[in-house]
Chain A
Amino acid sequence: MRGTVTPRVTGPDRPPTEPENRTMSQSYAAEEGTPAAAPVEVPHGAGDAVLSIRDLEVEFPTQLGVVRALNGVTFDVPRGKVLGIVGESGCGKSVTARAILQIIEKPGRITGGSITLRSVGGETEITGLSPDSARMRELRGREIAMIFQEPMSSLNPVYTIGAQIAEAVLIHQTRNREEAHKRAVEMLRQVGMPHPEAAAASYPHQLSGGMRQRAMIAMALSCNPTVLIADEPTTALDVTTEAQILELIRNVRDRAGMSIMFITHSMGVVAQLCEEVIVMYLGRIVERGSVDDLFYDPKHPYTRALLRSIPRIGRNRKAPLEVIEGSVPDPHTRVAGCPFHPRCPEAIPGRCDTTVPALSTAGPGHTVHCHLYQGDDETGRTEPGEDA
């Protein structure tokens, strides 16, 4: 499933004869005939994690009560790889990303846990920094950069693309405006923007959605961050543009060896892009593993249900698409036990609705939070018959 053919990047907004593009040897943009270099395999362990999140908790005090957006989320972002985070709306994917940058919208706040960044400059404990501190601002953009979901609204309409990229460069790298502008144009060229000079001088509304997302990526990459967080960067784009942007992100990883945390709700995107995947549900991680583990040997009932609900070409057209029974519980109420148990077809009464399942290992690098796989229970339960 991985490495499936994606459309070659020659969209209508990218003329094939663009001399500036081709001269760039270290361009991130997809070029004909450049084989994607295989990412360097690093043995997995806590040591090579560029970002370690431990028991992260985020709460939103609202008038209707406290919403616990994250309930103890623990994971590592491996160095030089793409980590996918999947889950449906409201599961805490975006909140996790914003917590890492400490830009959670008010009144949300981190109430527990730790976020550790291991960059060239050493270890930094992010939760120990005040959100408005100079050190935190230094990390944003320079160590950890972020791309947002809506390319239509994530760029400020009253400043030019070039000025907005140069702003990041001016904060982190140089005080020279001319140099910053050159860097901005250079970045636009690297992400495959046609006519980078003209693009830098144009305003966001003058560009198409795909071009704006390229500009966002150029902005995020302008200060060579250690970690790139992409929060559903292709959700608002059409499939052709999505393929181009995914290709661009793959190239970023391959050429710059950047660690990428890719948030999405599309299993298809995960299969195309990611090496490791985390599945989230209601502010908790339910399963983590390599892409192959997750697609060929999903353990958690939620993951299996997610995979079954993908429409497939070639299946019986008359058969209705499988859906997960029920809906996501109201965020103000707290579900006792496993958060998925009210919708889980395999829930064990008296157990799943009382205790939160602990972590169990399903294979090398493959972990799951589910009572079905808890040590003493493993022999009693059989694998469900249907394929995933």
Chain B
Amino acid sequence: MLIVVARRAVYMIVTLAVVSVLSFAIIAAPPGSALSQKISQLQSQGGEVTEAQIAALKEQYGVDESWFTQYGKWISGFWHGDFGFSFTLNEPVGSLIWSRLGLSLLLSIGALLIAWGLSIPLGVYSATHRRSLPDNVITVIQFVGVAIPEFLFALVVMTLAANYLGADVGGLFSSQYENAPWSWAKFTDLLEHLWIPLVVIAAGSTAWLTRVMRANLLDVLNNQYVQTARAKGVSERKVIWKHAVRNSLHPLVMTFGTTFPVLISGEAIVSIVLNLPTIGPLLVNSLLNKDMYVAGTILLMLSALLVIGNFVADLLLTVIDPRIRVGE
């Protein structure tokens, strides 16, 4: 098992190295960047001090050298937690992304847990009561949930919440807590703001996963071992939950790896609509402004999450299915 983990870790590092080179190359390819703008801005100011500044900047980021040297300078900073500098926001990348990445992760994992928590029982019910009225209702809601664009759903939920629940929508905190130190009241205020993005982000994947769960369970219920379990006197509830559901969880677990980045990109649109300080809007803005160090770092972080998510999914799969365990 340890060997497997070590081997996978090596693969992951290699994957991330390749991803970092590629993403940096692509971001650096078009002419002009936030850094070159900064330099020309300094040049227009003139003066001896700025000349020295420009020289220092050029030296630090290797502006006049090949992109590979620039990449080397950027990536070597990673060892001591220096991810570069945002020239549009005038802040180090490190201090920009950590809190945002944390919030993005919180939203994504929260949404994924909601999606799992709802889709498994709903899918099981749908499959075991196939073609009944509740199943048809669930199916219709699922199709709507899969089809509706997230930004639209976000707007709908916002409107409903603001009009009928009197909720303060948008942002993470009410204005009085915005700059207040952490307290219980601030925490509950955060939760009151978080449910809307959670619902919006979770809706699409819940609908999708319910569909997957239903289809998969219907498939598994046709298996002979389900009949075997019934034939030895196992109660119907246990037949479903112990013998059938565990065999139909594979695609749901695999989604842990694959819906993770999807959730984060979906979260970008939702966050723009709901004005949340997550990683998505930052990535979009940095790409627009060619703020290459911010964009590169975020892309690398998201890739790392994807790779780690897949690894965790694989580990979970070995837990639920012995056939994979032995195959390793």
| Cβ A153 vs Cβ B225 within 8 A | yes
- Cβ of A5 within 8 Å of any chain B Cβ, yes or no, is no
Do most interface residues of chain B lie in helix, strand or loop, or is the interface mixed? helix
Q: Choose, from A132-140, A176-184, A287-295, A298-306, the stretch at the interface.
A: A132-140
CA distance A220 to B228 in the complex (A): 10
- Residue-wise, chain A 13-36 has the 8 Å CB interface mask toward B (1 for contact) of 000000000000000000000000
- Cβ of B4 within 8 Å of any chain A Cβ, yes or no, is no
List residues of B (200-249) whose CB comes within 8 Å of A's CBs.
222-225, 227-236, 243, 246-247
- Cβ of A168 within 8 Å of any chain B Cβ, yes or no, is yes
With A154-B224, A156-B247 as contacts: A101 and B322 at CB distance below 8 Å: no
CA distance A148 to B224 in the complex (A): 8
CA distance A220 to B227 in the complex (A): 13
| Cβ B233 vs Cβ A148 within 8 A | no
- Cβ of A172 within 8 Å of any chain B Cβ, yes or no, is yes
Contact of A155 among B222, B228, B235 (CB under 8 A): B228
Give the size range of B's interface with the partner: 20 to 34
| Cβ B232 vs Cβ A157 within 8 A | no
- Cβ of B323 within 8 Å of any chain A Cβ, yes or no, is yes
> In the assembled complex, how far is the CB of residue B80 from the closest CB belonging to chain A, in whole angstroms?
46
Q: Total interface residues on A, using CB and 8 Å?
A: 33
Which 7 A-B pairs have CB atoms at the shortest separation, nearest pair first? A141-B232, A141-B233, A140-B233, A168-B232, A153-B224, A156-B225, A154-B224
* A residues apposed to B, CB below 8 Å: 98, 101, 103, 105, 132, 137-142, 145-146, 148-150, 153-158, 160, 167-168, 171-172, 203, 205-206, 216, 219-220
With A155-B225, A155-B228, A156-B243 as contacts: A168 and B233 at CB distance below 8 Å: yes
Q: Which residues of B contact A220 (CB under 8 A)?
A: 232
> In the assembled complex, how far is the CB of residue B322 from the closest CB belonging to chain A, in whole angstroms?
5
Q: Which residues of B contact A155 (CB under 8 A)?
A: 225, 228
- Cβ of B59 within 8 Å of any chain A Cβ, yes or no, is no
- Cβ of B326 within 8 Å of any chain A Cβ, yes or no, is yes
CA distance A108 to B62 in the complex (A): 76
| Cβ A171 vs Cβ B233 within 8 A | yes
Q: Which residues of B contact A157 (CB under 8 A)?
A: 225, 247, 321-323
**Besides A141-B233, A158-B320, 12 other A-B contacts (C-beta < 8 A):** A101-B231, A137-B233, A140-B230, A140-B233, A141-B232, A148-B228, A148-B231, A149-B224, A150-B224, A156-B228, A156-B229, A219-B232
Q: Which residues of A contact B229 (CB under 8 A)?
A: 156, 167
CA distance A201 to B34 in the complex (A): 63
**A139 (CB) vs chain B CBs: closest residue:** B233
Contact of A203 among B224, B247, B322 (CB under 8 A): B322
